[in-house]
Structure 1
Amino acid sequence: MMHEDRLPDNVFTEKWKHLIAAGNEDAFREMFNAYAGRLTAFAFSITKNKEASIEIMDEVFIKIWKHKEQLTRITNITTYLYTATKNTALNFLSHKSRETHLQAFDFINIELMEEERPDQRLISSEILSKIKKAVEGLPPRCKIIFKLVREDGLKYKEAAEVLGVSEKTIDAQMVIAVKRIGDAVGSYFDCFPARFQKK
């Protein structure tokens, strides 16, 4: 069983693809448990609607199960799930609003995940507060990229595919995020560089 503090690796996802395609409900449940919380949070960052975000996540997994035979054709499950969640969330917004220009994710407000992590236990609440404030002050696109890469653990290539941008854009935005966060925490930044190292 996967832990929710990290995304499953390729070995697990490859195994899941074939088992789920064959109708294995236990494998489907494992994949659901590994991704459900992250995808719900990602949907919420777009919709700002908790109930809708849960429904969006459920819809993504329902579609996967309905078309499970096609799962083996998917190259990267993580990228696929996040992209499907993004598209479903944007469809939700399009039905709730007459706005037609949803560009650059400028309307998205990303917040740090609240669950405690091992590295956070080493950081005082004051410093953690400064980090969160710095992230909150990032430009919208920068915040969503920071979340996908640092909070959800996506690789630069995966985040680029999900958002439909280049890896150079991901890299440039992460440089901005790291610099601003580093400036915010000042001398304390040297205490936890591993959290912000480029993957």
Structure 2
Amino acid sequence: MSEEVFCVQKIKEGDQMAFCSFVELYSKDLYYFALGYVNVRELAEEVVSDVFLEVWNNRARLDEIIHIKSWLLVLVRNKAISYLRKEQPDTTVSFDEIDDFHVPLFQSPDNKMISREEIAKINQAIAALPPKCKEVFVLAKIEKLPYKKISEMLNISVKTINVHISKALNIISGILYE
């Protein structure tokens, strides 16, 4: 039994220590993902807190979830859009209208090998991507989710994901090698 499955089972039983481990395991990734939507640190923290509260409140059904991280990312995305709608109650907000989705700073475990200038240039290149292309790129290349999961999350085809990734890599390489 994997550690994640064991943790989910313990959470389902109401084990608060297991839930704390679960929160610690996913909170950083979810926070940065939320920040990409809402652009305000406090709001991103609130989104993630609400997602974990929802997870705790629905812990009895956790074992029904096949891919926990994908499910959590969908929850964060939906909560973030809900928060944006609350901020602008007279307008309808959809992902296609969120032009300022951004990627928090790219952090590499090999930071010692990559200079700060190179990291800054990579971040600028990612920031220059169109919003949907950027979201797909982040999920595929930074979050390392399988294309099939991204397809299900965003309700787009795997072929469309390939197009977005190809476009993103072309834009990024063009900027990096100018």
Q: TM-score normalized by structure 1?
A: 0.79
* 1:120 aligned partner: 111
The reply on whether 1:84 has 2:75 as its aligned counterpart is yes
- Cα separation, 1, equivalents of 2:84 and 2:45: 14
The reply on whether 1:21 has 2:3 as its aligned counterpart is no
* 1:6 aligned partner: none
* 2:65 aligned partner: 74
Report if the CA contact (8 A) 2:81-2:93 is conserved: no
Return closer, same or farther for 1:160/1:121 CA change in 2, 3 Å cut-off. Answer: farther
Q: TM-score normalized by structure 2?
A: 0.88
* 1:142 aligned partner: 133
The reply on whether 1:46 has 2:37 as its aligned counterpart is yes
Q: What CA RMSD, in Å, does the superposition of the two structures yield over aligned residues? A: 2.1
- What are the residue-to-residue correspondences of 1:47-62 with 2, within 5 Å? 47-62=38-53
Amino-acid identity (%): 27
1:169 to 154, 160, 166: 160
Return closer, same or farther for 1:111/1:185 CA change in 2, 3 Å cut-off. Answer: same
Q: Render the CA deviation track for 1:101-126: whole Å, top value 9, x for unaligned.
A: 414254232124354x2333322333
Name stretches of at least 5 consecutive residues in structure 2 with no aligned partner.
none
- Cα separation, 2, equivalents of 1:34 and 1:55: 17
Supply the AA of the counterpart residue of 2:101: N
Query: How many equivalent residue pairs?
Result: 177
Report if the CA contact (8 A) 1:43-1:85 is conserved: yes
- Cα separation, 2, equivalents of 1:180 and 1:67: 41
4+ residue runs over 6 A deviation = none
Q: Render the CA deviation track for 1:72-95: whole Å, top value 9, x for unaligned.
A: 111110111011111111111111
- Cα separation, 1, equivalents of 2:115 and 2:121: 10
1:108 to 72, 76, 100: 100
* 1:192 aligned partner: none
Q: Render the CA deviation track for 1:16-37: whole Å, top value 9, x for unaligned.
A: 2212111222221111011111
Report if the CA contact (8 A) 1:134-1:181 is conserved: yes
* 1:190 aligned partner: none
Name stretches of at least 5 consecutive residues in structure 1 with no aligned partner.
1-9, 188-199
Report if the CA contact (8 A) 2:35-2:104 is conserved: no
* 1:5 aligned partner: none
Q: Render the CA deviation track for 1:14-65: whole Å, top value 9, x for unaligned.
A: 2222121112222211110111111112112111222121111111111111
